[in-house]
Structure 1
Amino acid sequence: MQFLSYLINGISLGSVYALIALGYTMVYGIAKMLNFAHGDVIMIGSYVVFFTFGSFGWNPAVAIILSMIVCTVLGVLVERVAYRPLREAPSLAVLITAIGVSYLLQQVAQLLWTSNPKSFPSVVANSSIFKPLQLFNGQLTISAETIVTILACIVIMVALLYFINHTPAGHAMQAVSEDRGAAQLMGVNVNATISLTFAIGSALAAVAGALLCSSYPTLQPTTGAMPGIKAFVAAVFGGIGSIPGAFLGGVLLGVIENLSKAYISTQLSDAIVFLVLIVVLLVKPTGLLGKKVNVKV
């Protein structure tokens, strides 16, 4: 029964990683850049929820929606100011800029809200819809946070797949991902499409931040740093650029991390996660669901 509990909690944690990884994989798949400031967008969104819901007592759904709006605006602004001028620059320049934006957001958060950890209230603890689930005559309890996190991840992934495959904006994203120059010649607004990608990824980061801090209720300016890195690992693990791959990679990563903490070592769990990634990439360099791309030279 303990194993089942660890497994479910691992799936819940992995669902958060998957939500964050969706932002990474969309931006990379369409804009061909790595937004390492993505984890700090999570942190900003979590602070918005903390103050609107935790301090001012707003409805949690309203607080999360406001957080999504703030993160969407922030994501679009970061893309417009920091990344768009570097679209034709070497990838190293974009990478350094992304790291700079990440540290900038952390320092701004520290100036605004100090570095003291804050106790984050759960956005689903007092929900009238979701209650803890008792299984096997009460031997296994699944928290409301776990249920909401897993359901939210599944619903968002399905909605995102539908959006990508069955809407004009989604088709534009696929065209830009395939060949940016050809898409532009066919009348696709490349700048608007990439901005939309950042907007969607940042909105998902806000949801992930609220769910992450509800399950692990500590908030500080560096809250998004490690989950952001692990979500990037999940995206690579599953096959960066693939939405189902980001979901699969995130869930597997969460399960591996949780089981490692339970049965091997809490201190070594992060090292085990990265070791598994290295082994997977040695066997399948494109990730679990990634596709090999032939490049003309």
Structure 2
Amino acid sequence: MDFVTNCAADVADQFWAQTRNGLTLGSIYAMIALGYTMVYGVLQLINFAHSEVFMVSTVAALYAIPFFGVTEGDPATGLSAVLIFIAVLVCCMLASGLVALLLERLAYRPLRKRGAPRLSFLISAIGASLFIQYLFVLMDGEHYLFPIRGIADPLGMPLMIIGLALAVVAGGLLLAGVRRGEAGWVDAGTLTGFGGLAALIAGLVFVVKLPDILGPTPQSVPELFATSTVFTLLGTPISNKRLLVVVVTVIMLVILDNFVRKTRMGRGIRAVAQDPQAASLMGVNINRVIVVTFLVGGLMAGAAGLLYQTVLSAPAFWFIGFRPGIKAFVAAVLGGIGNIRGAILGGLLLGLVEAYAVPCIGTQWIDVTAFVVLVIVLLFRPTGILGEQAGG
């Protein structure tokens, strides 16, 4: 009882400050969640590689910001800061949009053409996610994002590759057994044992050897412009960075809403989401709609990545997309996955819930909040707040 009383008192004391924080993070979650919800609406597919589309944006910022003359300890000011931010924003959006297009073209389209089962799409999404992550792990350039030249143990990389290869082989055998519908030429016990062995080896390699392979800590991205208080609202200072997040998010969401509702392609996206076969008979190019859907989701994730990096001073890191990506997925489910406005609502609500939980449980446990929200939603409203109930 004392915990509840103290929690309520702390939330009341910090209400407006945490509301500011929640709306800031919620805006970013909403923009990422749009990628999940739009792809699901069109393809009935959860694109688990969307977190890496977000991650690419932070890496693009690492290279784009110095390219435009901003260095560590020397942020831009005045009109130049605005122009450089717009230029970097465009670069980040294009980088993420390109990766999203490549995902659609290389990871998902071949499966669609073959009429593959949904399990294949899920496996492809996870594989694409891991591929993008470790592609950036191996990057080596001017900033040496993850230099591998100073590996402490020369066996680290080969062992990692062997472990991954065994896991892939086990996965292939498992799929073969599943597709046959029976044990056939491979005994189920052997299949399970080999899969477990490969997973164990891969797990040991990752736990023991991965720190040696990755090398130094993630690279910090130069601060684009200095933080300053723009105004005070209800006793809560509003910084230029937090205000920027909300303004950019509102602009992007208004543009997206108008695009989906008032353009021919937007109407095509809605038509495919409602009934792909009927849309195809009406002359809608399904493949083009899918490509545009991935592109729009990638552009939104790219903008969210730069805003996330700007307001939180997040580093360029191969795994940085995991937590925001998972939370954005929860936001999409909360609002009603497949519903664009539901994704926006879910993102804002999740951001506020997380922020209000901070005074009670502290920042070290804040990530648990998203999973608690997910469990509650799945128990009491599986279709989400704005989702349609089955048969209703």
TM-score of the pair, normalised by structure 2: 0.70
Between 49-58 and 152-161, report the one with greater CA deviation. Answer: 49-58
- Asked if residue 83 in structure 1 is aligned to residue 184 in structure 2, the reply is no
State how far apart, in whole Å, the 2-side matches of 1:275 and 1:68 are: 31
Map of 1:118 onto structure 2:
219
Structure 1 match to 2:237: 141
Deviation track 1:28-59 (CA, whole Å, cap 9, x = no partner) reads 11121111111111111211122111355272
- SS at structure 2 position matched to 1:151: helix
Q: Deviations over 1:96-119 (max 9, x none)?
A: 111111111110111112153122
Instruction: Quote the residue 1:66 is aligned against.
Output: 91
Q: Give 2:124's aligned residue.
A: 97
Tell me the alpha carbon deviations over residues 247-275 of structure 1, each in whole angstroms, 9 at most, x when there is no partner. 11111111111222222232322222211
Q: What's 2:347 paired with? A: 250
- Superposed CA RMSD in Å reads 1.9
Partner of 2:330: 233
For 2:53 and 2:284, the matched residues in 1 are separated by 28
SS in 2 for 1:118: coil
**What CA distance in whole angstroms lies between the structure 2 residues aligned with 1:278 and 1:164?**
31
Q: Does 1:23 align with 2:46?
A: no
Q: Which has more radius of gyration?
A: 2
Q: Contact 1:122–1:213 (CA<8 Å) still a contact in 2?
A: no
CA separation of 1:25 and 1:124: change in aligned 2, threshold 3 A: farther
Question: 1:286 corresponds to which residue?
Answer: 383
Q: Structure 2, unaligned stretches of length 5 or more?
A: 1-12, 71-83, 140-144, 147-213
**How far, CA to CA, are the matches of 1:156 and 1:56 in structure 2?**
23
Does the aligned pair in 2 maintain the 1:25–1:242 contact within 8 Å?
yes
Equivalent residue in structure 2 for 1:195, among 287, 291, 294: 291
User: Deviation of residue 293 (structure 1)?
Assistant: 4.1
Residue 119 of structure 1 aligns to a residue whose secondary structure is coil
Distance 2:92 2:380 in 1: 40
Give the one of 19, 22, 26 matched to 1:10.
22
Q: Would the alpha carbon gap of residues 103 and 170 (structure 1) be closer, same or farther in structure 2, given more than 3 Å must change?
A: same
**Structure 1 partner of 2:253:** 157
Note if contact 1:157-1:243 (Cα within 8 Å) is conserved in structure 2: no
Equivalent-residue separation in structure 2 for 1:48 and 1:222 (angstroms):
15
Paired letter, 1:63: V
1:181 to 263, 277, 299: 277
* Other structure's SS at 1:57 match: coil
When residues 181 and 7 of structure 1 are mapped into structure 2, their CA distance, relative to the original with a 3 A threshold, is: same
* SS of equivalent residue, structure 2 residue 138: helix
Structure 1's unaligned 5+ residue stretches are: none
Where do residues 210-225 of structure 1 align in structure 2 (5 Å cutoff)? 210-217=306-313, 218-225=315-322
**1:261 counterpart (354, 358, 361):** 358
Q: Could you tell me the TM-score, scaled by structure 1's length? A: 0.92
96-105 vs 154-163, which moves further: 154-163
Q: Distance in 2 between matches of 1:121 and 1:5?
A: 26
The equivalent of 2:202 in structure 1 is none
Shift of 1:132: 2.4
1:108: which partner in 2?
135
Query: What CA distance in whole angstroms lies between the structure 2 residues aligned with 1:242 and 1:145?
Result: 29
Calculate percent identity across the aligned residue pairs.
41
Distance 1:293 1:84 in 2: 28
Whole-angstrom distance in 1 between the partners of 2:391 and 2:110 = 27
**What is the CA–CA distance in structure 2 between the aligned matches of 1:61 and 1:136, rounded to whole Å?**
27
Distance in 1, matches of 2:328 and 2:28, equals 8
Alpha carbons of structure 1 residues 24 and 123: separation in structure 2 relative to 1, 3 Å: farther
Aligned residue type for 1:210: L
Contact 1:121-1:214 at 8 Å conserved across structures: no
Aligned length: 290
